[in-house]
Amino acid sequence: MKSPLDAGKIQRTLELARNAVNTGKPDSAIELVSSLGLDGDQEGFERFWADSRLVLAEAYMAKRNGVAETFFEEALAAIAALPERDPLLEQRANEHYADYLSNFVGCRSKARPRYDLAKQLAVENHLDEDIARIQLKIELLELTIDGHVELENFQMFKGLAERGGFTHQDQLATWMQYKGILPEAFRGLKFARKKNEVSPQYFLSLLESVKVKAK
């Protein structure tokens, strides 16, 4: 006879599994989820089941394994069927599925609606840092789809900002300011021009100025 499921233990195990994914240990995350004893039919454990499918999707995405798509679809179906809506779980699932579609499969046109929905959910939940993070992903997606001249500048800018510990809100405000400064003639270009490269020092000074203004 199976022992009854312990909701507290399942919650803690899922948190450990998510942390394992975030720290580059996807195999550990998969093992933790497999140890839970969930089968999707236990009444009262529907959210845990949905979360477990999502953690597996995220773990297999980290492993660059195509089975991640199956788990993302399972997670989204389970989230949609929850007795009570969970906007935060829905936001996470859509954002990370969009990451998978954009970065690992190359289906960027399918990724965009997922990002839009994730951003909408973040707006509904008043999560300003999440809104900015997702919008930055949308900016990258649009530049990549267009093969835009600013793509390399954006990638360099993001690397500098992440290493400098700037918040996503600071990053988005800086990039929007930069886009406003960018000459109109450059905005629609779809070919690379070395003369349009921006120095790291310029972006760092812009980031610092935006950060100071926000205080």
Q: What band does 187 get if pLDDT is binned at 50, 70 and 90?
A: very low
pLDDT digits (tens, 9 = 90+) for 128-143: 999 999 999 999 999 9
Own/partner long-range contacts of 29-33 (Cβ < 8 Å, ≥24 apart): 29/55, 29/56, 29/58, 29/59, 30/56, 30/59, 30/60, 33/59
Q: Quote the pLDDT of residue 215.
A: 56
Of residues 4 and 35, the one with the higher pLDDT is 35
